[in-house]
Each structure stands twice: as structure tokens, then as C-alpha cells.
């Protein structure tokens, strides 16, 4: 299982390009906080060489913190979306952390209200048509207006916890098309959902459904400081209990049929 964008892997650990010229190291944007990149994030950066190791570090930290706070085993799969990158470039990476593999490297759309080619604005509010930042736990799948879709439960109060009510889901969309994007200067945009190329959406969704983690990043200093899953040092978070989260997730999923809110507007 690998997307058309995924780079070849050698024994699941490193990326090789046969007979390719040496490439310059990618330039990453400055971050508003100091981050120490540890060995697990460095290992992931060897799989996804164009991903910012500091963003991978934050994603791994958030995943571990959430698991500790919930008293659960950390998820085996982790998706990382770096919204600081243009929509025309791959900015979604899906990792199998047990097998040490990069499963997918993909472009992903952001919301209409978030920006043009570059994402600038994020919201937790219904009707904003903006993407949300932070850590999400995946739930079940369903067939909706955009076909096969994956419900996402936002775990960060005030940042993304309205995702279920807003019907923010992962789905495929025909406007996520790299050829059209090159001509238009950006991908089409959703109503806040992380929309994928239709050719690969089903496979990506199946790799992430039922309790995996999605980490959506942007260098927003306010969010980086207030996120309960960054710098938490494995502390227990008030009001965050595994049972209540699961019950809330199941209840919300039952109450939200495929709705117009999940219908992305290509623009």
C-alpha cells in the first residue's frame, strides 16, 4: 500500500533514488518555539525526507501525550499534515510506526476560508470553512456526499473539538488534482476537510480509520503554547478520559449522517 507520491523505500527504512543527482537539503521555515528533535522523529525524517523533522517531533510528542493522558496504547499509525507548505506540494505523510514505513506522501486540500495556495487562517467555528489545527483521533467511515469518508474527532478544546459537529472528515475530491493545481496555482479547496486525490483516498482512509492519529500543524505561536498535547510531560489532562471520549465519539458519529457540511466546495 503506497501512494503514487510515495518515494521508494529501501527495506522500509531509508529513501533511495537510483542514479539521481545529489539534492540540496530542503529549507524549512523558522518555528516560533524551540524544538529538540529526538531519535524517533529523526528516523521518520529518513523515511519522509521532505518533511520537517521538527514538525514530526511535535506530532510524535502529541501522539504520546494523548495516549498517556487517555491511559491507552499509542496509535500504530500517524498522519502528519504540514499546512505551512503550499497546497501544490505534498504535505501529508502517513506513517506505520510499528513497521517503520512511510505509507503515503500526498497533497491535501485545506478549507476555502483558510487561504489560497498558502494556508493562513484556521478555525474551530462552524461556517468558517476553515481548516483546524491540532491532534485528531480517527473514528469510523461512511459513504457520504464525497464518497468514502473518515470521521475525525478533534481532541483539543477550543482548537478542533468541534470537528465532529462541523462534519470535518477526510475524503476524496476531484478538485484535488495536481495537474489542475499547476495551471491554477493551487489545489481546489474544501469547506474545512482535509480532502485527498480520489485515486488514493480510499487507501489512505483505510490506513487511518478506527483510532489512529492525525496531527495538523501550522507555526501558530498561540496554538503551539496552548495545545494540551505539546510539552505536557505525560501529565493527566482534566476532563480527558478514554471512556468519555469514546462515548462522545460514538454518540456524535451516530448523530451525524452524511451532511451538506461535509460537502466540499471546489473553488
CA atoms within 13 A on the CB side of 161: 10
pLDDT, average across residues 151-161: 98
E runs forming strands in the chain: 9-10, 14-15, 77-82, 92-96, 101-106, 134-144, 147-154, 169-172, 195-196, 213-217
Cα 215 to chain centroid distance, Å, stands at 5
Q: Give 70's pLDDT tier (boundaries 50, 70, 90).
A: confident
Mean pLDDT of the chain: 83
DSSP 26: P
Higher pLDDT, 49 or 33: 49
User: pLDDT digits over 158-215, tens only?
Assistant: 999 999 999 999 999 999 999 999 999 999 999 999 999 999 999 999 999 999 999 9
Q: Give 239's pLDDT tier (boundaries 50, 70, 90).
A: very low
Which H or E run contains 61? helix 53-70
Q: Give 26's pLDDT tier (boundaries 50, 70, 90).
A: low
CB within 8 Å of 252: residues ≥ 6 apart: 151, 153, 164, 165
Give 18: exposed, middle or buried? Use CB within 10 Å, 0-12, 13-18, 19+: exposed
Task: Return the residue matching grid coordinates 498535547.
Answer: 229
Q: Do residues 63 and 78 touch, judged by C-beta distance below 8 A?
A: yes
CATH of the domain spanning 44-262: 2.40.440.10
Q: Is the pTM of this model over 0.75?
A: yes
pLDDT score, position 248:
40
pLDDT score, position 236:
46
Question: Over 60: is that where the pLDDT of 15 sits?
Answer: no
Amino acid at each position: 500500500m503506497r501512494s503514487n507520491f510515495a518515494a521508494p523505500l529501501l527495506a522500509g527504512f531509508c529513501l533511495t533514488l537510483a542514479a539521481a543527482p545529489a539534492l540540496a537539503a530542503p529549507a524549512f521555515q523558522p518555528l516560533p518555539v524551540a524544538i529538540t528533535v529526538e531519535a524517533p522523529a529523526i528516523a521518520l525524517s529518513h523515511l519522509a525526507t521532505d518533511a520537517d523533522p521538527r514538525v514530526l517531533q511535535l506530532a510524535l510528542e502529541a501522539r504520546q501525550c494523548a495516549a498517556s493522558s487517555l491511559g491507552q496504547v499509542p496509535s500504530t499509525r500517524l498522519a502528519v499534515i504540514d499546512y505551512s507548505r503550499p497546497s501544490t506540494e505534498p504535505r501529508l505523510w502517513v506513517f506505520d510506526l510499528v513497521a517503520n514505513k512511510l505509507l503515503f506522501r500526498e497533497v491535501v486540500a485545506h478549507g476555502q476560508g483558510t487561504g489560497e495556495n498558502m494556508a493562513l487562517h484556521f478555525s474551530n467555528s462552524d461556517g468558517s470553512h476553515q481548516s483546524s489545527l491540532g491532534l485528531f483521533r480517527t473514528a469510523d467511515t461512511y459513504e457520504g456526499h464525497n464518497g468514502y469518508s473518515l470521521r475525525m474527532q478533534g481532541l483539543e478544546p477550543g482548537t478542533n473539538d468541534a470537528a465532529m459537529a462541523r462534519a470535518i472528515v477526510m475524503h476524496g475530491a476531484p478538485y484535488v488534482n495536481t495537474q489542475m493545481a499547476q495551471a491554477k496555482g493551487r489545489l481546489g479547496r474544501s469547506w474545512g476537510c482535509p480532502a485527498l486525490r480520489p485515486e488514493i483516498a480510499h487507501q489512505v482512509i483505510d490506513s487511518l480509520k478506527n483510532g489512529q492519529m492525525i496531527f495538523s500543524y501550522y507555526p501558530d505561536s498561540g496554538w503551539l503554547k496552548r495545545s494540551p498535547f505539546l510539552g505536557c510531560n505525560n501529565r493527566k489532562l482534566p476532563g480527558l478520559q478514554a471512556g468519555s471520549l469514546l462515548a462522545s465519539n460514538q454518540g456524535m458519529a451516530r448523530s451525524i449522517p452524511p451532511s451538506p457540511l461535509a460537502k466540499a466546495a471546489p473553488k
